[in-house]
Structure 1
Amino acid sequence: MAGGKMSARQKMINLMYLVFIAMLAMNMSKEVLSAFGFMNEKLSENNISTTAKNNEAYANLAMKASEQAAKFAKLNKEAIKIKGYSADFYTYLEELKSKMTAEIEDKNDYESMDKTAFLDEHFFKGDKFTAEGQEFLDKINTYRSDVTNALGKDNKFAPILAKRFSTDDVINAETKKEIPFLNARYEGFPLVASLTSLTQMQADIKNTESDIVSDLLGGKMEEALSLNNYKGIVALDKNAYFAGEKVTGKIVLGRYDATMIPDNVTLNGRDYKNIQSGQVIIDMPAGNVGSHDIKGKIAFTQNGEVVEVPFESSYSVIPQPGDAVVSADKMNVVYRGLDNPISVSLPGVSDHNLRVSASGGKLTGGKGKYSIRPAGGSVATINVSATLSNGKSVNSKATFRIKDIPAAMGSVRGQYGTVRMPKSGLSTAPIAAGLPDFEFDLNIRVQSFKIKVPGQLTIIVNGSSLNAAAKQKLSKAKRGDIINIYGIKATANGYNLKKVLPVNIELTN
């Protein structure tokens, strides 16, 4: 029977079950058998609804563990263990119930379930237990000990588990003699009564899960509501300020509530009174160039005692800039035919307040990250302007040389120069090109090439693979011959490469 705190409904079910057990000692009527079946149905329905609630609780705890690992991760690990132990034991009981009713055609014909043979033969052999009977006892004992160990031996559920899943001998009310648990609960009982007993044990498993997970969550929630777990957060309007500017922003609690007004605030060693809707509004001179701290305490009264929540942050005061900072992401030149990435920034000014333009090429992008595609000249210029918070204007520019993409190199199977390979491999291998030491990612496509086999006429091939004519000439080559592939025409990101170096193939057979 279930122990510990139980709902009124659960107490009623348990009481009914005890009454029915007592009636078994008397005449087992058809009505009683049906009543057992009805109880089994109600318990099964209750197990389904409890399972759904437990799954929600497990999911809730898992989510909190992912969001607040320091607080809930350990509890979630305990819950996962409990869930695993419970699922294993519950499944074992469900499989045992299926075996008990396997030969019954109508599973709802409870009046026909008056035989005792199945468990009498399944659990008992003479005065001893069968292997299956001992396994049943072991399953109960293992579940009880596993759950107890997962929670710790001193946990408050230990006595509840000991009572709820006890396999101790039962004292006969009349003879006062001790009877082994298995005999007292399952020997000589009608099938429907034993079936209901196992369903009740499954209900005990589900109630155990519910009790434990609710306790794990409830304990931490109560702890989380304590003001000791609040943390002061400094939220400045920006991280760096010019000399002479005011530092602006706010200080809030980690669990911010507009109705929670602090008793007093200490900021940088002095009492501070600028408090609005639970927020400490910062408004003070920035100070000299360098790093400055913002720290103090927010005091609340909780249960008649003062609780102080500390906060701490820092900011930097930087000199006003005279020039923008402009740098090429790849190198100090820009290449014709490519979108060259350019970063533009101005200390103390947000990216969306910069005005950026270019000459000598087409500029695209924004928010500090741009690309410039050079035109036909030899120089590209990036122009930057901005208005600082004090009203001062800043203008700057950076100039870059425009160069053509370097000569590419022909390749076969990703190899350059002279490549050794069999004739059959060359026949099917595509001809490619690349720039091994170039910093840009290029999509190079070979448009055409020339192939020269010793002693044969040069063949012009359109595309990147040998055509029939080229293969026919290649078939006449011998081991050790050097096949020259040159005159390679290719594009890189749609731009015609001016030069592609040849690649030679030394035939190995």
Structure 2
Amino acid sequence: MAGGKETPRQKMIGMMYLVLTALLALQVSNAVLEKFAIIYETLEELSQTATSKNQKILSALIEEKGKSPDPKIVKALENSRQVRDLTKTTIESIEKLKATMKSLSGTTEIDEKLINDHSSKVATMMMSQPEGKAFEKLLNDYVTKLRELSGLDAKALPNLAKPPKEIEVFAKDEDHANKDFLTFTFENTPVIAALASVTQMQTEVLDYETKALERLKEIAGAGDVKFDRMVPMIRSKESIVAAGATYEADLFISASSTSFQPEMFMNGSKLQLFEENGIKMGKIKFTASGGAYNKDGFATKSFKAEIKLPEQTLERTVEYLVAQPTIKVTTGNAPTLYLNCGNNVTIEVPALGTSYNPSFSSSAAEIRKGDKPGKVTIIPSARKIAVNVSNGGTPIGVQNFDVKLIPEPRFVAYIGNTPVDLRQGIKPNQVRSLRIVIEPDENFKEEVPKDARYSIKDMEVIMGAGPVAKAQMRATNSSPDLGAWSNSAKSGDRIVFSIREAVRKTYTDKEEKVAIKSSNSVVVIPVN
């Protein structure tokens, strides 16, 4: 979070904050907080490694140039010692702060008591009490003094305690852009996560020390530090990716040289090389596959990284976590789907963000793509269906749907645009205006309007009194021509509509026969 081109550690804390805020909003489980304990322990190991490395840089510089009378070299050596002393003092202050954080949980160790502490005691301390401002000042003073000793400018050594508005990835985020450094780092943060954040900043301090010592080494004209070990390193954009998302990382050697051109491989495939700050790196990019998730929804995956040098091959197995993505479904107005109807559904996988490029399939439904990723129309052919969700060809998961039968429509008599009151009936002169309307269920019509289009194909109409029919006819639509019956219709007669065949026009404009039951297929209208 120091700004400029982000280091792996900077990207890790950015990932930590995003994951933390998202998980806090979801009321994180203790199992998730345990993952922060793992991150904390990893950062502690990185700090120890960096401290050892920086001490070796200083020792090598003193060994090579310690006896030089050159004032320029003498000054560089003295400044190097001051850089090491300054860093030691700064690290000691950070360690004291971490001990205070632990004590607020009533422990001195990273144990279950601390991990399970969801309280805001540490957050309150860092945002509202002197410890927070002291920590911020410690970081800012360290950077200021380091620039003075090394000659590096603010571009090479940006401020460590930066508010989100000065961090590119958060500058336009309305939720965070106006926060200060302490609020951004510690707001709503459990103890273990706060410890991880502070320890990450500790690794940044050591990273800055490395840059300062390397610069002073150049000023002193010392040769390359002779490392007794070369290690293949991975700089990943994210340590946790969702299944179907792109895993991206850079492979490089921790002790680089301009005297040879390395070859780099991932799982045996040669990587494209690029150079950053004089370090050759191999670009790793692939779509993460899911499966075999644990109870917390994570799957541990790995790949083999190789760097071939003139006289040796460096190998490393890199592990990363794949998070089981959550499939979010919105079914428009309907809570479930309707059989043989075009149900508009939005299927999203929020964790994939802009890399979401879905495809869908089902053995019991036709699925038509909409105008945006994830928008589909599902036409089920069974009462239960399973929709397979993939992203860029990688399976994500299966979404199950229950399917409802289409509710029966009603056959309603109308005079013009007014429904007939079957208890009061109609007058003889109104017979000519009679028609039958098929009215769909209101919810069905609202939820899938394009599937709620009905019409009559065959209907028998009889006028009579008692068992005697005075007139009858067959009609092939909902508005039979009854004009000739108006003059002969009398009070006491009945008009009987018997619907024999009706159809529903589907989402695909095909006609589907309506199952007609005797209980609702006859409409009797008295003439008064």
**Shorter-chain-normalised TM-score: which range?**
0.3 to 0.5
Of structures 1 and 2, the one scoring higher in RCO (CA 8 A, sep 6+) is 2
After TM superposition, the score normalised by the length of structure 2 is 0.37
After TM superposition, the score normalised by the length of structure 1 is 0.38
* Higher CA-based Rg: 1
